[in-house]
Amino acid sequence: MPAFQYIALSADGKEIKGISEADSARQLRQNLRDQALTPLEVEQTSQQFNLNQKPSRASFFKAKLSSLDRVLFTRQLSTLLSSSMPIEESLNTIAQQSEKQSISALVMGIRSRVLEGNSLAQSLLEYPNSFSSLYCSSVSAGEQSGFLDQVLDNLANYLEREHESFRNVEMALMYPIILLVVAFLIVGALMVYVLPDMISVIEDTGQTLPWSTQILISITEIIQSYWWLILSSLVLFIFIIKRLLRQKKIRLMWDTYQFSIPVIGKIVRSSNSARYSNTLSILTRSGIPLVDSMKIASEVVSNTALQKGLREATQEVIEGKSLRGSLESIKQFPPMMIHMVGSGEQSGELDQMLERVANYQQTEVERMVSTLVKMFEPAMMLIMGGTVLFIVMAVLLPILSMNQIV
């Protein structure tokens, strides 16, 4: 039975939003009228939502799941299934207890697809913005093996680690970003509102101005006269860069160059290694064949140069080469990771070794980001101090010269 989301008016004119199951939209409208409600909009939740489509009032629910919501959904479904509750009842329970209408609508849509005879994995494919190919493939493997609750538990652990790692990096970068924005705002306010009045007084004296004061006057005049041109040029520059990076050849060149940038290259390499290892671990542990796991895991990697190498490595494995040998030929993975993968292949514990590699690489990323942030903070202080010192000297030097003349 399909699920519908609706907006209706009560007898006192209050707008009511909700989700309900019915054989058709017409039957739901009749059910609402029987409850003394006037239906305004009724829309089936199992239809795929197009983000480019202008949303109607009833489509306010259809936002994609956030990473935290995805973790909670996976953990709840795993717990309910492990208690021998059927899938449709588990989904109904999750939908009813969710406080967010968007999640309730999405879960009810998935439940409707399951009741129509589709597998859970096929139902999840209806929502590609919320569930990745990794997620759907793992669920499909769990359904086929009969260990769906265990697979979902592994998925929840994986998603929790990924969310926590992203949050740690985000929090580490928060302070430097705020510091940078505040620095620009302070310098901008000085240049636009404070310095023009002080400079006009200095110019009225008619004395020869120091080079620092002349530079400051020129910068201030340029900002006052052409701020709109500077701002629009910056926006245009960012737009052009984004457009260029959408071209495959330029994106490949840029992603290849990233590896040669000091510190940044190491962070890119380690973060992508961690993501690939983690994804490959969860897929192989779910019972998905190695080659299929490698194909899915290579799509998770964000760097196109490394992604290209991983596709070639997958082809080498198909041709009979070992996983260690194929990854070693890319020459972008750390030697420790290569050795641990080889050890896992020989011992038959590849998924465990890959998980250890992922944890180690993620720890390395967090450590490097933390070190970079610690280096950035004093550098920003020096730049800010130097800028303020230059402005102060440019203003004080003419004043001191005037005092000497007097």
Label each residue of 317-349 as H, E or C. HHCCCCHHHHHHHHCCCCHHHHHHHHHHHHHCC
pLDDT tens digits for range 239-286:
999 999 889 899 999 999 999 988 888 888 888 888 888 888 888 887
Give the pLDDT mean for 372-399: 81
Distances (CA, A) of 27 to 15, 61, 173, 324: 20, 21, 52, 59
User: At residue 401, does pLDDT exceed 80?
Assistant: no
Q: Are 121 and 140 in contact (CB under 8 A)?
A: yes
User: At residue 91, does pLDDT exceed 80?
Assistant: yes
The DSSP-derived string for 280-318 is HHHHHHTT--HHHHHHHHHHH---HHHHHHHHHHHHHHH
The secondary element (H helix, E strand) that includes residue 18 is strand 15-21
Q: Are 105 and 61 in contact (CB under 8 A)?
A: yes
Which residues share a beta bridge with 373? Answer: none
Check residue 51 and give its pLDDT.
30
Q: What is the CA radius of gyration of the chain?
A: 29
Helix, strand, coil shares of the chain as percentages rounded to 5? 75, 5, 20
Q: Which two tokens stand for residue 4?
A: 């519908």
Of 54-63, 171-180, 285-294, where does the model show the most confidence? 285-294
Q: Are 305 and 259 in contact (CB under 8 A)?
A: yes
Confidence of residue 59 (pLDDT cuts 50, 70, 90): very low
The secondary element (H helix, E strand) that includes residue 40 is strand 38-44
Confidence of residue 180 (pLDDT cuts 50, 70, 90): confident
Q: Are 138 and 282 in contact (CB under 8 A)?
A: yes
Confidence of residue 140 (pLDDT cuts 50, 70, 90): confident
Confidence of residue 56 (pLDDT cuts 50, 70, 90): very low
Strands 38-44 and 3-9: antiparallel
Of residues 165 and 58, which shows the higher confidence score? Answer: 165
User: At residue 153, does pLDDT exceed 50?
Assistant: yes
Q: How far apart are CA 63 and CA 82, in angstroms?
A: 28
Q: Are 254 and 327 in contact (CB under 8 A)?
A: no
The DSSP-derived string for 119-131 is -HHHHHTT-TTTS
Q: Are 187 and 98 in contact (CB under 8 A)?
A: no
Give the pLDDT mean for 200-220: 76
User: At residue 164, does pLDDT exceed 90?
Assistant: no
Of residues 269 and 24, which shows the higher confidence score? Answer: 269
Of residues 356 and 64, which shows the higher confidence score? Answer: 356
Which residues share a beta bridge with 3? Answer: 21
Q: Are 4 and 44 in contact (CB under 8 A)?
A: yes
Check residue 45 and give its pLDDT.
62
Of residues 51 and 399, which shows the higher confidence score? Answer: 399
Q: Choose the weakest-confidence range: 86-95, 170-179, 292-301.
A: 170-179
Beta strands in 142-291 (DSSP E): none
pLDDT, the chain, mean: 82
Q: Which two tokens stand for residue 378?
A: 């004093």
How many secondary structure helices (H) and strands (E) does the chain include? 16, 3
Q: How far apart are CA 58 and CA 116, in angstroms?
A: 23
Give the pLDDT mean for 334-358: 88
Check residue 240 and give its pLDDT.
95
Treating both helix axes as pointing N-terminal to C-terminal, what angle do 211-245 and 350-405 enclose, rounded to 10 degrees? 160
Give the pLDDT mean for 28-53: 65
Of residues 97 and 55, which shows the higher confidence score? Answer: 97
Q: Which phi and psi angles does 9 have, rounded to 5°?
A: -110, 135
Q: Which phi and psi angles does 43 have, rounded to 5°?
A: -140, 135
Check residue 319 and give its pLDDT.
92
- Structural domains of the chain, with CATH: 3-50+57-61 (no CATH), 67-160 (1.20.81.30), 258-367 (1.20.81.30)
